[in-house]
Structure 1
């Protein structure tokens, strides 16, 4: 089988299109023949060697794929040959034409679901958690999300559109803001040229938003507190721009009158809770099956062009999701 493997960490050039032996399904596993692969920021972190859950090298990269079950190991009863599935794992291993995976990370997909579009479900699962799970107790009627043109950001916008939540989308260029508006953002802010806090407050009549979804952090992270509504929450789900300059708790105390909350979120929160993981994925799969969600696809490339996909991610010129095909 063909796969994308890396033996050292670095830029896209470390990715190799290689031949590997076909795996077989062991006990508790299913063998999945790939239909599509999702490429995202975790793959860049894996490739760069900074992912918190790094596999030993050499390793096959990738966390997301869809396909059909072509082998069933002993002890697996809920998946059958021919079943369409999403495989959403962590720590790589997915970007190969054949995957032997634990059956509990293979999610059955209903008939009629587009398997290319379904490879975006992991982004939507994270977006669902940000909007519905990790902010439990916060009455979310308005959201600000940065990195809004990427895979998770665009999924947040799409879910907010479906749920009737006002979403202010932040992005780094006018083109990305236009894209965010086209897919359903209520308002957009170009944080390359505009003051985010001032714009959010102006758009919300100085109230602020109930939920700030921040995947950048960076030196000015604590400025988010200024545009938070009373009893609102900031959810950090990545740290692409580094850590804040100011002491977070001191800044929270400075905004005590709002009773602000700050939380970090990782999908790995569900590693030890497969039932909760399955429930979240089920919520998203149901909405895909209903046709209510429309993931934007930036590009579809052959698996052999994985380096090109990573170059796109590194250049930060993605509008939606990049998909690889076997």
Structure 2
């Protein structure tokens, strides 16, 4: 079978297509034949050798994979060949491991999918896993509240908007240009602010009758914190879920004290690394939502497994809407 691995960390050219034997499922393991493999930002960091949860070299990137159970190992009772399955690197000690035509995984770490499920959309659920715990466990918004979502046309933005709309939240998206604003509307945003059209503060004020928003959801920290706090309604919350922009250089006391009782929440998906049952329950809830048509992961583009370099180059350009997939 073919895998994509990194022998020496570096740019996309560090990704090598390698032929290796198909693994045999050991006791308690399930062998899954890949249909679709998600490409995400953790993969870029694994390739660059800078991911804190880095697998040992030579490293195989890949956070999630959907496919069909090919074989089962001794003692497996919960899974049978022919079933549809989703594998997630969050169920592994090290991240990665899914840029491969076949992957063996423990049966308890294998999420079974309903017959007929869209395997491409299932391979995009890692973004939704981040959004699910951020929204359902960290934010817990109320129907009728208003959320401003930065990066509204990206993979996480797609997931955040989808889940917020399902809870009855009014969503204002922020996009970097008119084309990405159009995509954010497609994802379900009620209104979208195109950053090229001028002042975000003024546009938010106009869209909320000067009240502001209850939630600002953003991957950016650092120097953007004071400006985002200005966008909040009374008792509103700024939610930061990544480290774009670097660490905060501000004295948050000086920023928050003059505000309208604002709060800042730092969300980290790795909080759930040790909360195994909560994490798996969240993924099962997302699978049910997908099966019922309540969420709509968007696939931006599909590449062959052999085109992993091109997929990484595209993701690094920052213009992806939704999810990139690799397919054997």
1:47 and 2:51 correspond: no
Gaps of 5+ in 2: none
Distance in 1 of aligned mates of 2:195 and 2:226? 15
C-alpha contact (below 8 Å) 1:36/1:119 kept by paired residues: yes
In the alignment, what sits opposite 1:96?
Answer: 100
C-alpha change, 1:139 and 1:292, in structure 2 (3 Å) is: closer
CA distance in 1, matches of 2:227, 2:106: 42
Indicate whether 1:217 and 2:251 are aligned.
no
Q: Equivalent residue for 2:133? A: 129
Aligned equivalents of 1:203, 1:276: Cα separation in 2? 37
Gap change, CA 1:202 and 1:107, over 3 Å in 2: same
> If the length of structure 1 is used for normalisation, what is the TM-score?
0.93
| Gap change, CA 1:83 and 1:244, over 3 Å in 2 | same
CA positional deviation for 1:128: 1.7
Displacement of 1:119 after TM fit? 0.7
The CA distance in 2 between the partners of 1:324 and 1:106, in whole Å, is 20
CA contact (8 A) 1:210 1:228 kept: yes
Hey, what does 1:185 align to over in structure 2?
Answer: 189
Distance in 1, Cα, partners of 2:49 & 2:226: 28
Q: Say whether residues 1:139 and 2:142 are aligned partners.
A: yes
1:196 aligns with 2:200: yes
Q: CA deviation at 1:78?
A: 2.0
1:45 Cα offset (Å): 2.0
Distance 1:195 1:46, change over 3 A: farther
Query: Is 1:318 aligned to 2:320, yes or no?
Result: yes
Aligned residues of 1:130 and 1:213 also touching (Cα < 8 A): no
Point out the more displaced range, 164-173 or 71-80: 71-80
Q: Across the two proteins, how many residue pairs are aligned to each other? A: 323
Q: Judge conservation of contact 1:104–1:274 (CA < 8 Å) in 2.
A: no
Residues 1:100 and 1:188: Cα distance change in structure 2 (over 3 Å): same
Alignment partners' CA distance in 2, 1:47 and 1:197: 38
Over aligned residues, Cα RMSD in angstroms? 1.8
Counterparts of 1:11 and 1:192 in 2: how far apart (Å)?
Answer: 30
Shift of 1:32: 1.1
Aligned with 1:295: secondary structure? coil
In the alignment, structure 1 segments of 5+ residues that lack a partner are none
Alignment match of 1:171 (pick from 166, 175, 180): 175
Partner of 2:76: 76
1:98: how far off? 0.8
**Per-residue deviation, 1:149:** 1.1
Matches within 5 A, 1:203-282: 203-255=207-259, 257-258=260-261, 260-282=262-284
CA displacement 1:244-282 (0-9 Å, x = unmatched): 332234322332x42x32222232222212211121112
In 1, Cα distance between the equivalents of 2:10 and 2:225? 28
Q: Are 1:61 and 2:45 an aligned pair?
A: no
Kindly state the Cα deviation for residue 158 of structure 1 after the two structures are TM-superposed. 2.1
Under a length normalisation based on structure 2, what TM-score does the superposition of the two structures give?
0.92
Q: SS at the partner of 2:234? A: strand
Give distance in 1, aligned partners of 2:11 and 2:216. 31
Comparing 95-104 and 242-251, the one that deviates more: 242-251
User: Who is 2:287 aligned against?
Assistant: 285
Q: Structure 1: how far apart are the matches of 2:264 and 2:74?
A: 44
Cα deviation, 1:56-77, whole Å, max 9, x if unaligned, reads 2111111111011223234433
CA contact (8 A) 1:87 1:106 kept: yes
Match of 1:157 among 148, 157, 161: 161
- Bigger CA drift: 17-26 or 105-114? 17-26
Say if 2:60 and 2:99, in contact at 8 Å, map to a contact too.
yes
- Mapping for residues 9-28 of structure 1, pairs under 5 Å: 9-28=9-28
Query: Residue deviations 1:118-160, cap 9 Å, x none?
Result: 1111212222222211114x53622111111111111112223
